Chain A
Amino acid sequence: MTRLSTPAALAELRQQLAAARSAKRQSVAICSSTGCTLNKSNVCSQAIAAELAEKGLEGEVELRRTGCYGFCERGPVVFIQPQNVCYLGVQAKDAAEVVEKTLRKGQVVERLLFKDESGRRYKTLGEIPFYKDQKRVLLQSSALIDPKRIDDYIAIGGYSALAKALFELGPEKVVDWIKRADLRGRGGGGFPAGVKWETTRNAPGDVKYVIVNGDEGDPGAYMDRSLLERNPHSILEGLIIGGYAIGARQGFVYVRQEYPLAVEYMRLALEQAREYGLLGTDILGSGFDFDVAIHRGAGAFVSGESSALMSAIEGRVGQPRPKYIRTSVSGIWEKPSNLNNVETWANVPLIINNGVDWFRSMGTEGSKGTKVFSLVGKVRNTGLVEVPMGITLREMIFNIGGGVLHGRKFKAVQTGGPSGGFLPESHLDLKVDFDELTRAGSMMGSGGMVVMDEDNCMVDAARFYVNFLAHESCGQCVPCREGLRQMLHILDNMVSGKGEEGDIELLEELCEFLEIASLCALGSSAANPVISAIKHFRHEFEAHIRFKQCPALSCPELLHYFIEPDRCPGCQLCRKECPTEAVLGKPKAVHVIDQSKCIKCGNCLRVCPEKFLAVIKVPGAAVGQAASAA
Chain B
Amino acid sequence: MLSTHPQPSHSARVDVIVIDDEDSIREGCRQTLEREGYCALVATDGVEGLDLVKHARPRVVLLDLRMPGISGVEVLEKLPGIDPRIIPIIITGYGTIDSAVQTMKLGAFDFLTKPFDMDQLLAVVDRGLRKYEALGSETAVAKPPPVKAPKPSEPDILLKGLETLGQYYSLGLRDQTLAAELRALEAEAQYHSKVLGQIREKEKAIADLVADLRLVDEIIERHGFRKSALIQILLDIQSAKNWLPRHTLLWVWRRLNIPLALIYQIAQFYEAFSLEPQGRHIVQVCTGTACHVQKAPEFLATVSALLGIKEGQTDSRLLFTLKTAHCFGCCALAPVMRIDETYHRNQSLKQLKAIFSSYASEQASHKESEQVRS
Contact of A601 among B235, B291, B301, B333 (CB under 8 A): B301
Query: Separation in Å of the B17 CB from the closest CB of chain A?
Result: 51
For the complex, is B170 an interface residue (Cβ under 8 Å from A)? no
* Most A C-beta atoms less than 10 A away, residue of B230, B234, B331, B344: B331
Knowing A315-B228, A600-B301, say if A464 contacts B341 (CB, 8 Å): no
Binds B, one of A22-30, A87-95, A256-264: A256-264
B289 touches A298 (CB 8 A): no
State A222–B287 Cα separation when bound (angstroms). Answer: 14
Knowing A298-B272, A299-B270, A601-B301, say if A38 contacts B344 (CB, 8 Å): yes
Which A residues are in CB contact (< 8 Å) with B334? 376-377, 382
State A578–B305 Cα separation when bound (angstroms). Answer: 10
For the complex, is A378 an interface residue (Cβ under 8 Å from B)? yes
Contact of B269 among A220, A318, A374, A464 (CB under 8 A): A318
Knowing A221-B327, A316-B262, say if A376 contacts B290 (CB, 8 Å): yes
B343 touches A37 (CB 8 A): yes
For the complex, is A34 an interface residue (Cβ under 8 Å from B)? yes
For the complex, is A500 an interface residue (Cβ under 8 Å from B)? no
A382 touches B327 (CB 8 A): no
State A22–B262 Cα separation when bound (angstroms). Answer: 56
Contact with B along A567-608 (1 / 0, CB 8 A): 000000000111110000000000000000001111100010
Which A residues are in CB contact (< 8 Å) with B171? none
For the complex, is B53 an interface residue (Cβ under 8 Å from A)? no
Nearest to B236 among chain A residues (CB) is A296
A73 touches B343 (CB 8 A): no
A220 touches B289 (CB 8 A): yes
Which A residues are in CB contact (< 8 Å) with B305? 579-580, 599, 601
Tally of A-B residue pairs with Cβ under 8 A?
169
B330 touches A377 (CB 8 A): no
For the complex, is A452 an interface residue (Cβ under 8 Å from B)? yes
Contact of B333 among A35, A298, A452, A474 (CB under 8 A): A35
B231 touches A603 (CB 8 A): no
For the complex, is B97 an interface residue (Cβ under 8 Å from A)? no
Which B residues are in CB contact (< 8 Å) with A384? 332
Contact with A along B245-270 (1 / 0, CB 8 A): 00000000000001000100110011
For the complex, is A548 an interface residue (Cβ under 8 Å from B)? no
Which B residues are in CB contact (< 8 Å) with A73? 332-333
Which B residues are in CB contact (< 8 Å) with A38? 330, 333, 336, 343-345
A448 touches B326 (CB 8 A): no
For the complex, is A270 an interface residue (Cβ under 8 Å from B)? no
Binds A, one of B1-9, B27-35, B64-72, B292-300: B292-300
Which B residues are in CB contact (< 8 Å) with A451? 293
State A212–B136 Cα separation when bound (angstroms). Answer: 72
For the complex, is A314 an interface residue (Cβ under 8 Å from B)? yes
A576 touches B350 (CB 8 A): yes
Contact with B along A233-262 (1 / 0, CB 8 A): 000000000000000000000000111100
State A452–B234 Cα separation when bound (angstroms). Answer: 39
A556 touches B297 (CB 8 A): yes
Near B by CB (< 8 A), chain A positions 287-301 give 295-296, 298-301
State A219–B270 Cα separation when bound (angstroms). Answer: 16
Q: What class of interface size applies to chain A in its complex with B? A: 35 or more
Nearest to A556 among chain B residues (CB) is B297
A300 touches B271 (CB 8 A): yes
For the complex, is B329 an interface residue (Cβ under 8 Å from A)? yes
B301 touches A220 (CB 8 A): no
Contact of B331 among A295, A298, A374, A452 (CB under 8 A): A374
Knowing A220-B288, A315-B227, say if A377 contacts B293 (CB, 8 Å): yes
Nearest to A73 among chain B residues (CB) is B332
State A599–B304 Cα separation when bound (angstroms). Answer: 10
For the complex, is A468 an interface residue (Cβ under 8 Å from B)? yes
B234 touches A35 (CB 8 A): no
Q: What class of interface size applies to chain B in its complex with A? A: 35 or more
* Most A C-beta atoms less than 10 A away, residue of B289, B291, B304, B336: B289
B301 touches A378 (CB 8 A): no
* Most B C-beta atoms less than 10 A away, residue of A221, A258, A259: A258
Contact of B332 among A303, A313, A315, A383 (CB under 8 A): A383
State A301–B328 Cα separation when bound (angstroms). Answer: 13
For the complex, is B210 an interface residue (Cβ under 8 Å from A)? no
B348 touches A577 (CB 8 A): yes
Which A residues are in CB contact (< 8 Å) with B350? 576
State A558–B144 Cα separation when bound (angstroms). Answer: 79
State A377–B344 Cα separation when bound (angstroms). Answer: 18
Contact of A34 among B287, B301, B330, B348 (CB under 8 A): B330
Near B by CB (< 8 A), chain A positions 360-375 give 374
A601 touches B331 (CB 8 A): no
Contact of A221 among B287, B301, B331, B341 (CB under 8 A): B331
Contact of A579 among B287, B302, B331 (CB under 8 A): B302
A34 touches B265 (CB 8 A): no
* Most A C-beta atoms less than 10 A away, residue of B270, B273, B291, B304: B270
State A174–B330 Cα separation when bound (angstroms). Answer: 36
Query: Separation in Å of the A391 CB from the closest CB of chain B?
Result: 19
A217 touches B298 (CB 8 A): no
For the complex, is B349 an interface residue (Cβ under 8 Å from A)? yes
Contact of B234 among A295, A298, A316 (CB under 8 A): A298
* Most B C-beta atoms less than 10 A away, residue of A315, A451, A461: A315
Which B residues are in CB contact (< 8 Å) with A601? 298-299, 301-302, 305
B289 touches A300 (CB 8 A): no
A317 touches B266 (CB 8 A): yes
Knowing A219-B288, A601-B301, say if A296 contacts B235 (CB, 8 Å): yes
Which A residues are in CB contact (< 8 Å) with B271? 298-300
A599 touches B231 (CB 8 A): no
For the complex, is A450 an interface residue (Cβ under 8 Å from B)? yes
Contact with B along A3-19 (1 / 0, CB 8 A): 00000000000000000
State A318–B271 Cα separation when bound (angstroms). Answer: 12
For the complex, is A305 an interface residue (Cβ under 8 Å from B)? no
Knowing A296-B232, A579-B349, A601-B305, say if A260 contacts B341 (CB, 8 Å): yes
A/B interface sample: 8 pairs, CB < 8 A: A34-B328, A34-B329, A258-B327, A298-B231, A377-B293, A417-B289, A556-B297, A577-B348
Residues of chain B touching chain A, judged by Cβ–Cβ distance below 8 Å, are 226-232, 234-235, 258, 262, 265-266, 269-273, 287-295, 297-299, 301-302, 304-306, 325-334, 336, 341, 343-345, 348-350
With A72-B332, A299-B271, A318-B269 known, 12 other A-B pairs at CB within 8 A are A34-B329, A34-B343, A222-B331, A295-B232, A298-B231, A313-B228, A316-B266, A376-B289, A382-B332, A451-B293, A452-B293, A556-B298
The 9 closest A-B pairs by CB, nearest first: A222-B329, A220-B289, A299-B271, A219-B288, A298-B270, A72-B332, A315-B228, A376-B290, A579-B305
